[in-house]
């Protein structure tokens, strides 16, 4: 059993090490995406004029008049002192080609007082990576690797990293099992070639304790192995949470929701009840933002919601509006679970659902918790700091794991060469049949 677990851990680790190194380091940075974006792009995020703000609907109308190839799909409804307003836009269908225009931007930044356009950018652009797109490039790279659309499917990166996360989740248990002490008395050679004798009479915990320690003065090889093993144990719970939530977020519709639905009941939402429109034939609204916003205002008052109306959006893929209610500076909602929302049909403007953070069935709450857990926002700023540190730890564990494998492989090759009567320098790089032992 232990030999099989060792092989599984070795090959799973080698398969995912590069991906986890990249995801860990990018995750450490994007925990602070909003703050970093404001530091890099004050010309976009800071308002230049003071005075009474212009109505957001009027600003949206002006954007569509200036850029007729796009439709405004996201409208901020509250202004913050000193901040610009960021409008989301999407390309219209070009009647000449039947495909979407390519305007080269999906965000427009506007000064709320003067109405002046401060700039525009393509959030998540692959190339060129500029100061304006750097943070969003890292953010999208973190969960999709920017893999291009192939065969009309643009989710290859999500699927790939989702599978990587599944392997990582299972490997968390395999790695933990391999740190457990051998239960019978034996003298064995440990992972770095040193004698590790199990002594009769010691308790199971006493025999497991060395796995939790880092011997800083044991030499480079021992230190590398201890860092890999001890840090994996001390942070195991966090590693498992990050791995599982990475799987749930990347394979959300494909595997995660069907799995949860088979265990517990989920409250239907417009995202789960409506079909996904083709990329070049998106849903077009027949009612406008103004009508939906007024209906949402009246509905929120009837429900006695205290949070002000913060933003509104139209989802072209599913054909519905969403109106969000939140206080300024609370862009991710309480504990990172998002905001109160009201959903309206894009064709007739009728109310089709709502979303209340941290409410619903057990399955609803579990689903809502995935992003807050993955991002650390469930614990506020301390949680984000923790996730940044864990990103570095994930990269370190991946690198040290590869180094452990390289050292063990080199030792096996030298041992094989000696059995063949060859000098170490003459040892072949890959003796026949030896791949099964590495």
Residues 122-159 have pLDDT tens digits of 999 988 899 999 999 999 999 999 998 888 788 899 99
For 78, phi then psi, to 5°, come to: -135, 140
pLDDT at 158: 95
Q: Is the torsion defined by CA of 155, 159, 165, 168 positive or negative?
A: negative
- For residues 240-265, one letter each, b for 16 or more C-beta atoms within 10 angstroms of the residue's C-beta and e for the rest, the string is ebbbbbbbbbbbeeebbbeebeeeee
CB 344 within 8 A of CB 320: yes
Q: Is the peptide bond before 128 cis (omega within 30 degrees of 0)?
A: yes
Percent of the chain surpassing pLDDT 90: 71
Q: Is the torsion defined by CA of 270, 274, 275, 280 positive or negative?
A: negative
Alpha carbon of residue 310 to chain centroid: 24
Q: Residues 317-323: what's their mean pLDDT? A: 96
DSSP per residue, 325-385: E--TT-TTBGGGSB-EEEEEETTT--EEEEE-TT-SSHHHHHHHTHHHHHHSGGGHHHHHH
Q: Residues 290-308: what's their mean pLDDT? A: 96
SS3 category, 32 = coil
CB 339 within 8 A of CB 325: yes
Task: Give 353's pLDDT tier (boundaries 50, 70, 90).
Answer: very high
Alpha-carbon Rg for the chain in angstroms: 27
pLDDT at 423: 52
pLDDT at 154: 83
> Comparing C-alpha atoms, which of 389, 431, 392 is closest to residue 410?
431
How do residues 41-77 score in pLDDT, each as one tens digit?
999 999 988 889 999 999 999 999 999 999 999 999 9
- Using CA atoms, how far residue 223 sits from 190, 197, 230, 327, 403, in Å, is 14, 19, 10, 49, 11
Alpha helices, DSSP H, located in 235-275: 236-250, 257-263, 270-273
Q: Is the pLDDT of residue 425 over 90?
A: no
How do residues 77-132 score in pLDDT, each as one tens digit?
988 888 999 999 999 999 999 999 999 999 999 999 999 999 999 999 988 899 99
Percent of the chain surpassing pLDDT 70: 90
Query: Lowest-pLDDT range, 109-123, 189-203, 346-360?
Result: 189-203
pLDDT at 427: 47
CB 320 within 8 A of CB 274: yes
Report the distance separating Cα 143 and Cα 276, nearest Å.
Answer: 21
What residues are paired with 241 via a beta bridge?
none
């Amino acid at each position: 059993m232990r030999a099989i677990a060792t092989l599984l851990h070795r090959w799973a680790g080698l398969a995912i090490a590069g991906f986890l190194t990249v995801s860990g380091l990018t995750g450490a940075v994007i925990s602070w995406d909003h703050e970093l974006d404001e530091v890099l792009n004050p010309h976009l995020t800071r308002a230049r004029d003071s005075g009474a703000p212009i109505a957001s609907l009027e600003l949206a109308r002006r954007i569509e008049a200036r850029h007729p190839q796009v439709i405004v799909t996201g409208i901020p409804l509250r202004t913050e002192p000193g901040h610009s307003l960021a409008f989301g836009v999407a390309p219209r269908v070009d009647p000449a080609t039947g495909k979407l225009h390519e305007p080269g931007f999906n965000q427009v930044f506007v000064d709320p007082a003067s109405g002046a356009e401060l700039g525009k950018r393509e959030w998540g652009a692959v190339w060129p990576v500029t100061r304006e797109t750097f943070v969003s490039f890292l953010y999208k790279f973190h969960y999709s690797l920017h893999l291009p659309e192939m065969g009309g499917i643009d989710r290859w990166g999500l699927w790939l990293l989702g599978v990587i996360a599944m392997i990582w989740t299972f490997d968390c248990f395999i790695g933990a099992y391999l740190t457990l002490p051998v239960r019978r008395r034996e003298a064995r050679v440990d992972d770095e070639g040193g004698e590790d004798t199990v002594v009769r009479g010691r308790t199971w915990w006493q025999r497991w304790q060395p796995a939790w320690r880092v011997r800083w003065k044991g030499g480079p090889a021992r230190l590398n192995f201890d860092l890999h093993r001890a840090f994996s144990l001390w942070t195991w719970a966090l590693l498992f949470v990050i791995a599982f939530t990475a799987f749930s977020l990347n394979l959300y519709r494909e595997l995660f929701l069907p799995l949860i639905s088979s265990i517990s009941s989920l409250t239907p939402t417009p995202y789960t009840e409506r079909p996904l429109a083709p990329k070049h034939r998106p849903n077009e609204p027949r009612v406008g933002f103004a009508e939906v916003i007024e209906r949402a205002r009246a509905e929120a008052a009837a429900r006695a919601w205290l949070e002000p109306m913060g933003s509104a959006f139209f989802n072209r893929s599913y054909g519905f509006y969403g109106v969000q209610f939140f206080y300024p500076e609370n862009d991710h909602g309480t504990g990172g679970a998002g905001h109160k929302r009201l959903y309206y049909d894009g064709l007739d403007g009728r109310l089709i659902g709502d979303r209340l953070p941290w409410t619903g069935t057990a399955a609803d709450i579990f689903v809502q918790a995935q992003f807050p857990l993955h991002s650390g926002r469930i614990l506020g700023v301390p949680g984000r700091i923790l996730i940044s540190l864990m990103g570095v730890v994930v990269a370190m564990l991946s690198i040290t794991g590869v180094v452990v494998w390289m050292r063990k492989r080199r030792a096996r090759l030298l041992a094989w060469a000696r059995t063949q009567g060859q000098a170490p320098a003459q040892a072949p790089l890959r003796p026949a049949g030896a791949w099964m032992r590495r």
